């Protein structure tokens, strides 16, 4: 096995070794992964952050040393806060989006394997994210950044993401690593018994007719919910579920609310 890092703004991760296969998730710039298997021009990889597996095109693989990979895993790296920004060196300029990791960022430069890149945009400071008040303030600000981002199954970037991709990215920006899918995220945190007890930053989960968890969103002030449904939007939440403002009807049935962030 060897290791790699996403050196592009985003790399699609597919269910099978084919460009036609379902998109299951994305690697974003700065995400490390382990290569599990090679099949022709495709690599089966496992994300170092959330252990999610899938197939990427070999042409989009950037290898890193075992030493780099272990050092990457040992740190909580800053993330880009600008909607779109650029990383560069003397030869190249490339875009990255909000939520991308900035490995070994010192305030000016970051390291992608052996390559040193410049970044002069806004970034999170992992050392300052433990304070609940700061987390909630940042969450409200970030929610506005993602509004109207289009829904894309398996997506994680501001240019296309699904419901659990949105929550994973938002909480990652707060320094909290969530699992990838909604049915996995529901296992995190403490149960909130009633909607009336929900607080900003709680996660609300929704089920289909068979009882499977199929949707997740982030509770905001006054029982509003930020979620990805067609687009990233804000809708009212009550004990029945999500009331779609545009269609004037309920779109999702509430199953459970979980508290992930420490509240004060």
CATH number of the domain to which 175 belongs: 3.90.1720.10
* pLDDT, position 263: 64
Considering the domain boundaries, does residue 264 fall inside one?
no
Helix (H, G, I), strand (E, B) or coil at 254: strand
* pLDDT, position 137: 82
* pLDDT, position 132: 74
CA angle 61, 65, 68 (to 5 degrees): 105
- 109-112, strands of its sheet edge to edge: 93-97, 84-88, 115-119, 109-112
Residues 199, 169 contacting (CB under 8 angstroms): no
Query: Are 42 and 14 found together in one domain?
Result: yes
| End-of-domain residue from the set 119, 140, 173 | 119
**DSSP-H helix ranges across the chain:** 66-73, 132-146, 163-173, 182-185
Residues 202, 259 contacting (CB under 8 angstroms): yes
Residues in Cβ contact with 39 at an 8 Å cutoff, skipping those fewer than 6 apart: 17, 55
Query: Are 134 and 247 found together in one domain?
Result: yes
- 199 burial level (CB within 10 Å; 0-12, 13-18, 19+): middle
Gap between the Cα atoms of 9 and 64, Å rounded? 17
Query: Are 255 and 162 found together in one domain?
Result: yes
Query: Are 160 and 222 found together in one domain?
Result: yes
Considering the domain boundaries, does residue 188 fall inside one?
yes
Gap between the Cα atoms of 94 and 87, Å rounded? 6
Query: Are 115 and 138 found together in one domain?
Result: no
- 134 burial level (CB within 10 Å; 0-12, 13-18, 19+): middle
Gap between the Cα atoms of 50 and 87, Å rounded? 25
Considering the domain boundaries, does residue 124 fall inside one?
no
C-alpha gyration radius of the chain: 18
Query: Are 29 and 62 found together in one domain?
Result: yes
- Residue 162 to residues 47, 156, 167, Cα–Cα distance (Å): 18, 7, 9
Q: How many domains does the chain have?
A: 2
**Residue 14 domain boundaries:** 2-119
Question: What is the block-wise mean pLDDT of the chain (264 residues), using blocks of 10 residues?
Answer: 94 98 98 97 98 98 97 96 96 95 97 96 86 81 94 98 98 95 97 94 96 97 95 97 94 97 71
pTM for the model stands at 0.95
Query: Are 194 and 212 found together in one domain?
Result: yes
| End-of-domain residue from the set 60, 90, 119 | 119
DSSP, residue by residue, 133-167: HHHHHHHHHHHHHHTTPBB-TT-EETTEE-HHHHH
| End-of-domain residue from the set 119, 140, 174 | 119
* pLDDT, position 113: 95
CA 79 from centre of chain: 11
Helices (H) and strands (E) in the chain, counts: 4, 20
Helix (H, G, I), strand (E, B) or coil at 41: coil
Considering the domain boundaries, does residue 78 fall inside one?
yes
């Amino acid at each position: 096995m060897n290791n790699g890092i996403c050196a592009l703004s985003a790399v699609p991760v597919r269910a099978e070794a084919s460009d036609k296969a379902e998109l299951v998730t994305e690697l974003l710039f700065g995400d490390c992964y382990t290569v599990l298997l090679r099949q022709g021009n495709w690599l089966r990889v496992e994300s170092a952050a959330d252990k999610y597996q899938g197939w990427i095109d070999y042409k989009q693989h950037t290898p890193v040393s075992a030493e780099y990979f272990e050092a990457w895993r040992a740190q909580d790296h800053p993330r880009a806060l600008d909607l779109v920004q650029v990383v560069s060196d003397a030869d190249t300029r490339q875009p990255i989006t909000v939520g991308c990791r900035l490995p070994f960022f010192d305030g000016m430069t970051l390291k992608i394997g052996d390559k040193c890149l410049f970044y002069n945009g806004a970034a999170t400071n992992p050392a300052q994210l433990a304070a609940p008040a700061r987390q909630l303030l940042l969450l409200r600000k970030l929610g506005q950044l993602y509004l109207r981002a289009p829904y894309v199954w398996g997506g994680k970037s501001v240019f296309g993401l699904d419901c659990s991709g949105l929550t994973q990215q938002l909480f990652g920006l707060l320094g909290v690593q969530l699992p990838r899918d909604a049915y996995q995220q529901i296992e995190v945190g403490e149960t909130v018994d009633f909607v009336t007890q929900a607080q900003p930053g709680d996660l609300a989960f929704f089920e289909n007719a068979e009882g499977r968890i199929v949707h997740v969103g982030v509770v905001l002030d006054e029982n509003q919910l930020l979620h990805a449904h067609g687009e990233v939007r804000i809708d009212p939440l009550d004990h029945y579920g999500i009331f779609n403002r545009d269609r004037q009807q309920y779109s999702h049935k509430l199953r459970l609310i979980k508290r992930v962030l420490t509240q004060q």
